[in-house]
Each structure stands twice: as structure tokens, then as C-alpha cells.
A and B are shown apart, each in its own frame.
Chain A
Amino acid sequence: MKEDVIIFDASVFSIDTVKRALYRFADKCSFDIQLKDNEITVKIHTDSSDDMVARIKNEVLDQDLRDTLAKETANIRTLILANAFSNTGLIQ
């Protein structure tokens, strides 16, 4: 069992973003997460021989983009869905 620590700046990444990224590694690692003094500290326990630190850092970046994308498009998505199930009967 290996242990590693990654620290994220909480003003750059939200704790939700970090958690969502970590969720994806549930098959390989377990985590302790702490938020203190604007720092998110993630302690990683793993048996994997992969470079989990690098993979997790990349995943947090991806997840951050995903969160931006989801937040930016939430309203328009509702609008499209409302439109889809309201008016006319045209179907391809």
C-alpha cells in the first residue's frame, strides 16, 4: 500500500470538483480529504503501480472543465428540453 498527498488550491478548484474527480478512482484508491485554510488536501492510499498522482491531477483538471461546461449550459439545456416537449409534432 502506497501513500501520496496532493494539495489543491481551493480558490482554483471547488471541493465538489475534486470529489467528483476522485470518485472515478474508487476502483484503484481510497482517499482522505481535508479542507483547511483554503487548501484541499487529498491523501491517497493505493496498491496500484500507476502514477496515480499525475492521473488524479489531470482528472481534476478535466472535471473542472466538465463543471464549467455543465454550469454554463444548465439553463439552455432546460430551454431546449422545454421546447422539445412542447410545440409541434415534427419528428424525423
Chain B
Amino acid sequence: MALLGKKFKLLEVFDQATNGQYQLLPSRFAALDDGRYLLSNEVGEYLVVTRPDLESFIRKQVPANTDFYHDLKSKHFLFDDDSNVALDLLALKYRTKAQRISQFTALHIFVISLRCDYTCQYCQVSRQTDDKHAFDMSEETANKALDLVFKSPSPAIKIEFQGGEPLLNFALIQYVVNEANRRNEKHQKDLQFVITTNLSLLNQEVLEFCQAHDIHLSTSLDGPENLHNTNRPRPGKNGYQLTVNGIKKAQSFLGHNKIGALMTTTEKSLPHVKSIIDTYLENNLDCIFLRPLSPYGFAIKNQQAHKYDVDRWFEFYKEGLDYVLEINRQGYQFVELYTQLIINKLLSPFSEGYVDLQSPTGAAISAIVYNYDGDVYASDEARMLAEMGNKKFRLGNVHTDDYEGIWLSDTLLDTLECSLSESIPMCNDCGFLPYCGTDPVYHYATQGDVVGHKALSGFCNKNMKIFKHIIHLLEDDPEARKILLTWVRT
């Protein structure tokens, strides 16, 4: 290169790799579409490659001094004799990702009462009764649960009040908030509260309490009035009105960011994704979570039917995401939360704390459920399964078991062990592994086995479709990519 002065040596002089040889670093791949593969490493960095490129990479035939070689090297798919700092960096990145496990459990769910004023078809747990004593959590149980909450090593603790309808037992919520704050004076954790409520009972007293203690509200909004009221029947047939009135009140009294809504997808929702999203826009909500059909309802009984449901649900999701992207293109920021979660898993060096998409499972590591009667479950789904008659994932009871007894219970340890994707057939060499999870409760519920056969798994089928779709958008649709990138949060 005559472009440089004589004192300077050429690029080749500084290449200490031996004859263009390289070593492979741990990675996996999965087919994306007809011609392309997703190649990902242990810590979630990825490249989209063609079949010939993939093969030449694994057969160690990629020529040095090509962009492909440099991309593989820079993203830590290979290293050569010129540099071995990749090993240090990979170890560091791995430790960063794994940090979630050492800081477990951030989310503590208190089932304040099983009583509810709704009679939703998909709800497995609610009771219609006035008998407070039978289905409300007691102060004594709450205190025992709080003992466990403050034993968690996580520096941030979120206590979520669930039901039934937790506001039916508002006095206990007040008690738990005050008691937790009192105890936290000593522990100094970053403590947050959320009430998951249908808002029917949202009155001034509740609002003022929420304001005083910076409590977030989370409600259910399934879509437009008809759909919402069909999904979520309430005596008086006014559930939708109560909900949107409650949302408006909370937004104006507590602030826009203090209330969020979640939707449950039923078979009846499937044709209406656009009007569901419109309902969210009408109610000034800036995000939606297009949730999959729950396996704990009608679909659980028949595996094939469930797979069919996944395909239909995916069309629902895709149509919804298209519409959400269109809303963004029109200059209004509106986020689909599951997509956002996956975008972050793809692009951020951190691990995300969403319970269902983790390996080992987020059950008990990220979240734990204290039932009204003191029973402790590894996840909300585990509790639902129990209410359907199967207590497989019951970890213990706050009245009879201590912290070690619950977190080191055989049930939990077995579940965790079985839920490492690295050891699950088909997961262990899947390119989507760094972004996926294992969900043992789901697989137990649908296949009778916590590991499950992924070829038959609706969970696997659903997530593969979503991953492929999102990567396709990132790779092939520059306009969508631009929008999706604005959803990244670090």
C-alpha cells in the first residue's frame, strides 16, 4: 500500500493468525426461512447467515480478511491466534446475563382474596361468595409471607396484589403496604407495589392510598365493549364501562404512567385485534400486551387443537403488530410489549426478567406466589393449575415452611433443573435458546411432563414463529426496524 509512508507496516504484518486458521466459539443456529439461518452465541449476539456461509463457518473455511470473517470475530463466534481477549469478554458477558439468577426473587404476588365480582370463563381461581373468611388472606398469613419477601436477596422488590379481586379485601392491602414499608426501613430495598384489579371498586379512598404510597394499578381490558363484556361477564353487564371509567380516574388522579392494562386473548378475540388495539388507543394507553391463549382453559384438553390455536393466535399477533407499527409510522408511539421484550433480548446485553421466557425458568427465581391460604407457588400459572386440582408446583406453606424449606424444596429444585434449556432436547442446540425460556408449568399442563417434547409444544411453536417474524422485520423491513429499535430500553 503506497498510500502510507515508508515507516509504516502493512496490515498483513499485524495479523498473527496462523494461515487464516480459527477456532469456533460456542454457538447455535436455527433455520429462519428457506435460505437463511440465525446464528447466535451463548450471550445472545447473532448474525443472519445463508446456508453456504453457515457451513463454511463451521467447517472453518471462511477466508480471513472478509467482512464475514470480521463480523464472526467481532461478535465472538470465532477467535484466532491474533487475539484471545474474546474469552475474557465472553466470560464477562455471561456473568452479566447470569446475574438475574443470583438476585432472585424480585416479584412477590400476594393473592389477597379469591372472591370476585366477575364470572370470567377463563378464570380458574375466582370464587363468587360473600364468605370472607373462607377465601381472604389473613393478616397472620400476610405477615408470614412478608417474612419470606424480605429474605429475598434481590435489591428491588415488587409486591403485586392479586385475586380474585384484591380490592374486595382492601384493608389487608393497606395493612401489607404499611407493614412492608415499616420493615423496609431496615432493609432499604427498592420497594414497589402493584394492585391488579378490575377497578370496579376504585373509589377515592383507594386512589388516595395509591397516591400516598406510589402504588401502580394494573387492570384488564380485553377490547371493545362487546368483546370485553363477553370475555369478562359481570352481573349488571357493565364491566367495560366500570373499567374504562376506572382507567380514566386513575390516569387523571395518579398520573398516566401509574396505570396499565393487560388483555386476555380468547377465541372470540382472534378476529378483532385492530379494534382491541383501538380500544387501548381510545383509553390513552400507550402499550398493549398481545397475550397468547391461556393453556389453562379450553385448549388444554387436546394437544392438536392447542397447536392449531397457536397458529391462529400467531396470525392474530402478526396482524396486531402490523397495526401497531402502522400506528408508530403515523407518529404515535405505541408499544407491543411481547415484541419489545424480544427486541430487548435480541439487542441488549442484559437478561430480561419476564418469567415465561427464561432459562432456568423464571418460576420462583423471578416471581413467587403467596396464595390466600398461605400456600406458596412457583408462578401464577402454578397456582391456577393447583386450583384446577393439581398441586404439583406447590412449594410449601408460609405457616409450616421456612425460607430454606421453600426455596430448596425438591419441587422447586427439580423444576429448575429440568428447566435449563441447555439440557433440553431440541432446545440445547437451538439458535433461539438465548432469547427463549422453558416454562415447565406450561409443559406439565399440556404434556404431563415439565420438560416436554418441543416438536409438540405450543410454547415452542409460538415463540419460534414470533422470533422468526421479529428477526424478519429487523432484517428485511428498514422502516419497521427503525420503529422497533426505538423500543429498546437499557
Contact = CB atoms under 8 A, between A and B. Distances in A.
Interface of A: 20, 23-27, 62, 65-66, 68-70, 72-73, 76-77, 79-81, 83-85, 90-92
Interface string B8-45: 00000000000000011111110100000000001000
Contacts of B24: 69, 72-73, 76
Given A65-B55, A90-B92, A24 B27 contact: no
A81 B25 contact: no
A73 B25 CA distance: 6
Contact of B42 (A23, A68, A77, A92): A77
B58 A73 contact: no
A91 B96 contact: yes
A66 B29 contact: yes
B227 to A, nearest CB: 32
Contact of B95 (A27, A76, A79, A84): A84
Given A73-B24, A76-B24, A80-B26, 18 more contacts: A20-B425, A20-B429, A24-B455, A25-B455, A26-B456, A27-B455, A65-B55, A65-B58, A68-B58, A69-B27, A73-B26, A77-B42, A80-B90, A81-B91, A84-B94, A90-B95, A92-B96, A92-B350
B455 A80 contact: no
A85 B87 CA distance: 13
Interface in B416-462: 425-426, 429, 453, 455-456
B295 to A, nearest CB: 17
**Residue among B54, B95, B99, B349 with the most chain A CB within 10 A?**
B95
A26 B28 CA distance: 21
Contacts of A80: 25-26, 42, 87, 90-91, 94
Nearest to B76: A80
B55 to A, nearest CB: 6
B282 interface: no
A59 B425 CA distance: 15
Interface of B: 23-29, 31, 42, 54-55, 58-59, 87-88, 90-96, 98-99, 307, 349-350, 425-426, 429, 453, 455-456
B425 A23 contact: yes
Nearest to B23: A76
Which secondary structure characterizes the binding site on chain A? helix
B97 to A, nearest CB: 9
Contacts of B94: 80-81, 84
A63 to B, nearest CB: 8
15 contacts: A23-B455, A26-B455, A65-B54, A68-B58, A69-B28, A69-B29, A70-B429, A72-B23, A72-B24, A80-B25, A80-B87, A80-B90, A83-B91, A85-B98, A90-B95
Contacts of B349: 92
Contacts of B58: 65, 68-69, 72
Nearest 6 CB-CB pairs, A to B?
A83-B91, A84-B91, A84-B94, A26-B455, A73-B26, A77-B26
Contacts of B91: 80-81, 83-84
Contacts of B23: 72, 76
B28 A66 contact: yes
Given A26-B456, A76-B23, A83 B88 contact: yes
A65 B307 CA distance: 29
B429 A66 contact: yes
Contacts of A62: 29, 31
Given A24-B455, A27-B455, A92-B349, A84 B28 contact: no
A15 B29 CA distance: 21
A23 B452 CA distance: 12
B478 to A, nearest CB: 29
A83 B93 CA distance: 11
Contacts of B93: 92
